[in-house]
Structure 1
Amino acid sequence: MTKYAHDEILPFGSSGKEKKQQVEHMFDDIAPKYDFLNRFLSLGIDVQWRKKAIRRLSKLKPRQILDVATGTGDVALMTYDMLQPEKIIGVDISQGMLQVGLEKIIKAGLSDKIELKQADSAALPFADNSFDAITVAFGVRNFQDLEKGLSEMHRVLKPGGKLIVLEFSRPHNPVFKGLYSFYMNVITPAMGNLFSKNKEAYSYLNKSAKAFPERNDFVKILNGVHFKNTLFKALTMGICCIYEGVK
């Protein structure tokens, strides 16, 4: 499997632990403030990004959906609300994030429709050809092995099933690019430190986003693990992209 630049970016540097362990610890730590900071730092735009990504599954009418790197269950809850599938399973490496998500699902009365499991993206605990669709929102850049995680998602998709990935990218407009860089390099870590007391986490999230293979580069990686009909769509002047591929 190919190694990529973002694979080498770690939340806590040379702590002696591998990336997946560091990511798990980081998200356990910031879980209580994660939803608030997402809304605050994105000015609420991230909600619209998620909804646009989910809408790309509407024609498929998927009945069984897997949400990888589900975190606090935002996409799983939105997906149920918008698409009404039979079942959604959300997986994440962080038990702390899953606990927050479970509380939200119970509050929404959807425990029979949305199930959360702790699992590693590189070893999904599901049989081949299990799901009609898979979603991943702001999670693939945290994979320890990007190609392995994508290959696992391809494996558990049914033939004809669709993968939808939502991930940060870098704006190309020179003026906006400068403003975005300042916001991500200075404001985001400062606000992360203020509200979650974890500046390292939000510094890592920025650095990993900047190093991630975006747009056509990511599409090529999807092609390399056998996805077909791949494409990307840039959102909000290129801050974020939706990617999709079909098995």
Structure 2
Amino acid sequence: MTNRPPVGDRQDKGAQVQAMFASIAPRYDLLNRVLSLGVDRSWRRAAVTEALAKSPARILDVATGTGDFALELKTRAPHAQVVGSDFVPEMLEIARGKAAARHLDVQLEQGDALSLPYPDGSFDVVTCSFGFRNFADYARGLAEMWRVLAPGGRAVILEFPPPAPGLFGLLFRFYFRQVLPRIGALVSGNGGAYTYLPESVLAFPDPERLAGLMRATGFRTRYRLLTFGIAAIHVGDKT
């Protein structure tokens, strides 16, 4: 597969994103480690800390992919019910294998983040780790998070914002556009997927704009940047 989905908000890209991630599922975790130099693990730990701050009993991780974030949640909150949802069956199969190997009881279910198959108010926390920018409609995704959250619940989004202006931003853009696609194509055999990745980041809302979308949904929102702004954690509390 060399074709890649369109990037940005309000795009008809769901089927293409699903097919793209299905094609790279077997190499997805290795590439994440290589391309982030392992820093993605510390980012996830920081986001999990935000998610567990209120000692939630019911947690939903949307766009769970191969399950790293859901498994970290369950490891650190063993008494919580953790559900991981994704619309790519190939990713979920890998996640189920990880959960079994680690003897972690995580429910891994197929579902669309834009039309979650759960009743209103089902969860105390909803998380999304590096999957939100792949949504076809950001406002609808946030509305679904809000809907399935109980009053007082929390949404946590960990994502790559566009590189900020300045020297580091220029270097990071060069890495994203010139280096990352070549490494990704070499390891995964899918050049289109790792051209889509940097393009999807560059087209994603900057942190303040994403915070604004969350506030428009009804969340009381704050965010912080990680590792010179390469990643950002957005926290939204449902009042």
Q: Same fold (TM over 0.5)?
A: yes
Aligned to 1:132, which of 114, 117, 124?
Answer: 124
**1:102-117 alignment runs, 5 A limit:** 102-110=96-104, 113-117=105-109
2:209 alignment counterpart: 217
Alpha-carbon distance between aligned partners in 1 of 2:109 and 2:19, rounded to the nearest angstrom: 17
Provide the aligned length of Structure 1 versus Structure 2: 233
Amino acid in the other structure paired with 1:162: R
The superposition leaves residues 39-83 of structure 1 with CA deviations (integer Å, 9 ceiling, x where unpaired) of 000000000000000111333001110000000000011111122
Match of 1:24 among 4, 15, 18: 18
User: Unmatched 5+ residue regions in structure 1?
Assistant: 10-17
CA distance in 2, matches of 1:71, 1:85: 22
TM-score normalised to the size of structure 2? 0.94
1:178 corresponds to: 170
CA 133–85 in structure 1, closer or farther in 2 if over 3 Å, else same: farther
Distance verdict in 2 for CA 1:24–1:105, change over 3 Å? same
CA contact 2:163–2:173 (8 Å) conserved in 1: no
Aligned partner of 2:60 in structure 1 is: 66
CA contact (8 A) 1:64 1:85 kept: no
1:182 positional shift: 1.1
Indicate yes or no: 2:153 matched with 1:161: yes
Following superposition of structure 1 onto structure 2, how do residues 1-247 of structure 1 map, counting pairs within 5 Å? 6-7=8-9, 18-110=12-104, 113-172=105-164, 174-228=166-220, 230-247=221-238
The CA RMSD over aligned residues, in Å, is: 1.5
Letter in 2 for 1:47: R
More helix by share: 1
**Segments of 4+ in structure 1 off by > 6 A?**
none
SS in 2 for 1:123: coil
Whether contact under 8 Å (2:66, 2:92) holds in the other structure is: yes
Unmatched tracts of structure 2, length 5 or more: 1-6
Counterpart-to-counterpart distance in 2, 1:118 and 1:238: 32
How far off is 1:173 after superposition?
Answer: 5.3
1:113-169 deviation digits (Å, cap 9, x = unpaired): 201111111110000000010110011110111111110110000100100000001
- Hey, what's the Cα distance between the residues in 2 that align with 1:194 and 1:8? 31
For 2:63 and 2:79, how far apart are their aligned partners in 1? Answer: 19
- Percent sequence identity over aligned pairs: 42
